[in-house]
C-alpha cells in the first residue's frame, strides 16, 4: 500500500470531515466539541477550519492519500509555535449546535479541555474564567509522585482526577478543591496550587490538534506516518510536542515517544471526556551539521 503525504487544500475538507466524523464515532467527546454529524454542522466546521488555515500562522494541515485510488486516508492538524508568542488568545468556543442542558454540558467540557491546554502548553496556572463558589472540598494530603485518584460527584458531573507524575511533579499539594458553579451546573474542581512547574513550557511547542484515519485504513501505519512527520519537525525546531490522546490513540503516541502527564476522566449526563495529556521532548540537536542523540531518547 503506497501513501502520499501533502498539504491539505480547501477542496479536501468535505472528504476530510466525513472521515473525521466516522473515525471519532467511538469517542464521545468528539460530538461535544464538534457537534452532531450533519451536513449543516460539517459545513460550519469546514468554514471554521478554512478560516483558521488562512488566518492562523500556526496551522499546518497534512493529509495522506492512497495512490492506488486517490482516497484520503488520514488527516492531521498540527499547530506549530516555534517562537515566543505573547498574543495567543484563549478561545473556549460556544456549542451553538446544542440547546439547554446539552449546550451547558458541551461548553463545560470545552472549558475544561482548554483549562488544561493553558496549564500545560501556555505556561499559565490551571485557572478558569469563572469565580469559585462557596463549596470547598478540603484535603490535607500531599500528592506524591505516585499515581493517585480522587473522585467527586458534583451535580451533573462526575469528576475523576488522576495524575501520572513519576518524579516530574512531586509534592503536588492540594489544600482545597474549588467547585465552580454556573447557574444550576457544577463545574470541575481544579487545583489551587502546583508546587513544581517543570511540566510547563515556555510556549515554544508543537501540538497535534487533531489526527484521524479512515476506519477502512486503520492499522495500516497511517497514524504513525502523521505523528512522525510532526515529531521530526519538532525535533528540528527543538521544541516539545503535545497531544491529548484518546484511549484509542494512546498506544500510538506512547510508541512515538510521548509520555503521560495527566489522565482526564470527566463524565456528564450525556458525554464522557476521557483522554491523556501527553508530552514528547525533542530528541535531537544539531551540532556541526550532524545529528546527536540527547539523553538516550
Q: What is the pLDDT of residue 1?
A: 80
Tens of pLDDT along 258-297? 999 999 999 999 999 999 999 999 987 666 666 555 554 4
Domain ranges of the chain: 3-84+200-243
Which CATH fold would you assign to the domain 3-84+200-243? Aminopeptidase (3.40.630)
Q: What is the pLDDT of residue 29?
A: 94
Distances (CA, A) of 68 to 4, 19, 71, 72: 10, 18, 8, 11
Residue 197 has pLDDT above 80, yes or no: no
Residue 137 contacts residue 159 (beta carbons within 8 Å): no
Return the higher-pLDDT residue of 149 and 112.
Answer: 112
Averaged pLDDT for residues 181-185: 29
Percent of the chain whose pLDDT exceeds 90: 58
pTM over 0.85: no
Residue 24 has pLDDT above 80, yes or no: yes
Residue 118 contacts residue 199 (beta carbons within 8 Å): no
The residues that bridge with 153 in the sheet, in sequence order, are 158
Q: Which of 185-189, 222-226, 292-296 reaches the highest mean pLDDT?
A: 222-226
Residue 192 has pLDDT above 70, yes or no: no
Residue 148 contacts residue 159 (beta carbons within 8 Å): no
Q: What is the pLDDT of residue 174?
A: 30
Among the listed residues 176, 203, 205, the one whose alpha carbon sits nearest the alpha carbon of residue 191: 176
Amino acid at each position: 500500500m503506497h501513501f502520499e503525504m501533502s498539504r491539505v487544500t480547501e477542496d479536501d475538507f468535505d472528504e476530510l470531515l466525513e472521515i473525521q466524523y466516522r473515525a471519532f464515532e467511538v469517542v464521545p467527546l468528539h460530538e461535544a466539541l464538534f457537534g452532531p454529524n450533519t451536513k449543516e454542522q460539517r459545513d460550519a466546521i469546514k468554514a471554521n477550519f478554512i478560516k483558521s488555515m488562512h488566518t492562523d500562522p500556526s496551522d499546518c494541515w497534512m493529509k495522506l492519500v492512497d495512490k492506488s485510488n486517490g482516497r484520503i486516508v488520514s488527516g492531521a492538524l498540527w499547530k506549530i509555535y516555534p517562537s515566543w508568542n505573547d498574543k495567543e488568545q484563549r478561545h473556549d468556543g460556544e456549542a451553538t449546535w446544542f440547546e439547554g442542558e446539552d449546550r451547558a454540558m458541551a461548553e463545560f467540557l470545552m472549558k475544561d479541555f482548554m483549562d488544561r491546554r493553558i496549564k500545560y502548553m501556555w505556561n499559565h496556572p490551571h485557572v478558569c474564567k469563572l469565580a469559585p463558589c462557596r463549596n470547598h472540598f478540603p484535603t490535607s494530603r500531599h500528592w506524591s509522585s505516585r499515581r493517585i485518584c480522587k473522585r467527586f460527584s458534583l451535580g451533573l458531573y462526575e469528576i475523576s482526577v488522576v495524575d501520572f507524575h513519576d518524579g516530574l511533579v512531586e509534592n503536588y499539594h492540594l489544600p482545597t478543591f474549588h467547585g465552580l458553579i454556573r447557574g444550576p451546573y457544577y463545574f470541575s474542581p481544579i487545583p489551587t496550587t502546583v508546587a513544581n512547574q517543570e511540566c510547563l513550557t515556555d510556549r515554544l511547542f508543537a501540538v497535534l490538534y487533531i489526527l484521524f484515519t479512515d476506519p477502512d485504513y486503520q492499522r495500516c501505519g497511517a497514524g504513525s506516518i502523521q505523528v512522525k512527520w510532526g515529531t521530526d519537525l519538532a525535533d528540528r525546531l527543538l521544541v516539545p510536542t503535545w497531544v491529548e490522546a484518546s484511549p484509542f490513540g494512546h498506544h500510538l503516541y506512547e510508541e512515538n515517544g510521548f509520555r503521560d502527564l495527566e489522565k482526564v476522566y470527566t463524565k456528564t449526563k450525556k458525554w464522557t471526556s476521557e483522554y491523556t495529556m501527553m508530552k514528547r521532548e525533542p530528541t535531537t540537536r544539531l551540532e556541526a551539521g550532524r545529528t546527536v542523540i540527547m539523553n538516550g531518547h
